[in-house]
Amino acid sequence: MRWVLYPVAALVALTTLGLATLAAISILAWPNLPSLEALTDYRPRIPLRVYTADGHLISEFGEERRNVVNIDDVPVQLKQAILAAEDERFYEHPGIDLLGIARAALANLSSGGRGQGASTITMQVARNFFLSREKTYNRKLYEILLALKIERNLSKDKILELYINQIFLGQRAYGFSAAARAYFGKPLENITLAEAAMLAGLPKAPSAFNPIVNPARATVRQRYVLRRMVEAGFIDNAAYQTALAEPLRTQSARTVSGSRSNLVRGDYVAEMARQIAVEQFGEDAYQLGIRITTTIRRDDQEAAYAALRKGVMDYDRRHGYRGPERFMELPQGRIDEEALEEALSEAGDFDDLLAAVVLEASTREVKVFRRGETLTLSGDGIKFATPMLNDKAPQARRIRRGAVVRIRDNGEKGWELVQLPEVQAALLSIDAQTGAVRALVGGFDFNRNKFNHVTQAQRQPGSSFKPFIYSAGLERGYSPGTLVDDTPLYFPAGVTGSQAWEPKNYDGKFDGQMTLRDALARSKNMVSIRLLDNITPAYAQDYIGRFGFDTARHPPYLTMALGAGSVTPWEMATGYAAFANGGYRIDPYVVKEIHDGNGKLIARIDPPVAGESAPRVIDPRNAWLMDSMLKDVVRRGTATRARSLNRNDLAGKTGTTNDYLDAWFCGYNPDVVAVSWMGFSQPRNMGRGETGGAAALPIWVNYMRTALKDMPENPLPRPNGIASAPVADGDREDFYYSENEPPALKPQPSWLEELFSNNSPALEAPEEAIPAAPPAPAPAPRPIPAMQAPAPVVDRLPTPVQR
């Protein structure tokens, strides 16, 4: 038996020697372990976040999505799921689990490798903060030593809290709170047991068990976690069965079904806020946890987004289906789902406009492939695209097998064929008293076109600019009841210095003498030109600067009367606010407050307020009279569609430029100013009849229906110094400045009318008297980084026929 004892003794000796060596190495390594300051003074990289004024998240920027939570705020079922999946004896062991290590060692020896580890949660914290993920014995030793050191300095709850906040879980999500939002679109406290088990299964392999990318494997892992929870006594069999039966709706599934995302749709606003943060804090803005609170209101922003999308989609339907976006080879027989998914990934989704591949197409029905399932569209769902389902349709535009198309879930009506619109639109809403932006949508889809048409697009305003010319006229003695001729005008080339100009009214008709009130309501171009001629273009150019317009973009020519200069929706909202608030200049702003990563307030906007600190730029009587005239535009003029809101305090003006390049509506009540615009990014004809009243006004109406929903009517109070008298035709009264004469007589003809009354070439004015009206200078707009677009084209004379 002696020979049997020799191997045993040798094994004991070797084991003793190994342990002694390990102890010596540990003693020598212990002083060289890193400081735990990164844990005791935990400062994670927290992204820049942008919120609405009422506390809803709009967007976040940074490589790491992270929401740091206190351990007491973590749901108990998530803690239990994590412990069951990763470290059941966490609250019992001293940082290392000897039983787990022995089990892993035996498994590795039997398999001849080192594929199985025995990391406790504390060891994972050590690795995540201080070490690499390489599988070596040296790294494992340091991991064990660090785990022991961590356990000596931190409580178990603090260690678990660090783990919950720091670990990477896929989808750029760091920590379980960020993962709950990334995968399920909800805050951590609202997750269910089934969702907690799904999240707890991610640390082992975030990419392999990603429920969005690999739902089948993620489900297998989730069921394992639930079984472990039962075995550990955390849940009973009833809870286990309920969790197994619960259908999980990840973010991607919510998008496919057309459900709303948890984020407020304010990408253009978020980008504006991001730029401000980077200007102030540099690249560190993405990891300091800065919180920017904007002036945006969630309900307003969602209403603006929906109104703009509807307006653009309605326009798109009016102009017909253009055909599939692209085609791919699709052999008959069994389809290659992986290839189809790749094609759909390249096409991308744009909110509820989802990419799909056509499998079969006829005039009766269309079958498409989308995310692993086949959908059948028929009836009204394919009506829009019917012309391209016919065999006689052009081959390059016909819907057939292999075509990549767009579909949308239309609720109870089911799936329908749609297309990505080419036209763009913008909507801006501000508080008339302070300039705080209530809603801003800079284009149809930020992910498709990041150019912000609200702040960057310099476009011709058309007749929506006329109120500022009329306001200037009031300051020069005109009144709403003043009579002006609506008769033809003609300017020879010798006068314009360029080419002959014969402006027209939109309807091609001339109605003789009419009051300024009627002319503005009916958008009569001849009256606007005569008015500008009498007050002089130079005076008007200087006057419009009061409203915040860049006067260099509005050359002092008669074409200014028809809105031939260039403006942005941002400028137009600023200008109209002076009519809405009684004559004060306010400047729109979008950022309300900025807090640092510790919640400390570091910036707050204190804007000038109308009637208090804002400068007065026009006489209160001027503002009231203009408001009165602009209300008539809504009551009986070109904006009668706004009467559907059933309010008496609405005012505004439509605008349509030559060849239907731009459509505007600028309107307000004394509380809210909103401007809507539609056109192509590179200006081109939108189609006959696409006026401001037809294309832009419906967007404005649909937005204001929500914005003014709970607001009582708020008429602008009538100031002192206004008198009334019968207008020239004697049928009604109108208002004027009390120090002026009642507007009973037609003004004297201008020198231009006298000059050309006999059409005598000998009486032509010098060429410099009425300069040519070239396009307004169009320097590049103040750019937003990574969002520049080519400068807009500004038409030359003849000037737009606006309405």
The number of CA neighbours under 13 Å toward the Cβ of 569 is 33
Alpha helix segments (H runs only) across 463-524: 466-475, 493-496, 516-521
Residue 42: the pLDDT is: 58
Across the range 588-617, mean pLDDT stands at: 95
Catalytic option among 119, 177, 463, 464: 463
The verdict on whether 429 is a catalytic residue reads no
Whether residue 196 contacts residue 228, with contact meaning beta carbons closer than 8 Å, is answered with no
Residue 430: the pLDDT is: 98
Across the range 597-617, mean pLDDT stands at: 94
What would the pLDDT profile of 406-424 be if each residue is shown by its tens digit? 999 988 889 999 999 999 9
Across the range 113-117, mean pLDDT stands at: 48
Catalytic option among 86, 151, 195, 416: 86
- pTM comes to 0.79
Q: Which tokens belong to 86?
A: 């990763």
Residue 139: the pLDDT is: 58
What would the pLDDT profile of 214-270 be if each residue is shown by its tens digit? 888 889 999 999 999 999 999 999 999 999 999 888 875 434 333 345 689 999 999
What would the pLDDT profile of 646-671 be if each residue is shown by its tens digit? 999 999 999 999 999 999 999 999 99
Alpha helix segments (H runs only) across 695-739: 697-707
C-alpha distances (whole Å) from 135 to each of 67, 119, 128, 208, 459 are 30, 12, 14, 19, 62
Whether residue 347 contacts residue 325, with contact meaning beta carbons closer than 8 Å, is answered with yes
Query: Higher model confidence: residue 640 or residue 799?
Result: 640
With 80 as the cut, is the pLDDT of residue 18 above it? no
Indicate the average pLDDT of the chain: 84
Strands 291-294 and 57-61, by their bridges, are unpaired
With 90 as the cut, is the pLDDT of residue 156 above it? no
Across the range 698-715, mean pLDDT stands at: 96
C-alpha distances (whole Å) from 681 to each of 606, 676, 775 are 34, 15, 18
Q: Which domains does the chain have, with CATH numbers?
A: 64-256 (1.10.3810.10), 270-422 (2.40.50.140), 426-594+603-763 (3.40.710.10)
Considering 346-360, 629-643, 727-741, the range whose residues carry the highest mean pLDDT is 629-643
| Close Cβ partners of 735 (under 8 Å, ≥ 6 residues apart) | 479, 480, 481, 625, 628, 722, 723, 724
How far apart CA 467 and CA 653 sit, in angstroms, is 8
Secondary structure class of 359 (helix, strand, coil): strand
Range in 69-83, 245-259, 474-488, 580-594 with the lowest mean pLDDT: 245-259
The verdict on whether 463 is a catalytic residue reads yes
Give 10's pLDDT tier (boundaries 50, 70, 90).
low
With 80 as the cut, is the pLDDT of residue 559 above it? yes
Residue 749: the pLDDT is: 52
Whether residue 550 contacts residue 777, with contact meaning beta carbons closer than 8 Å, is answered with no
Residue 651: the pLDDT is: 98
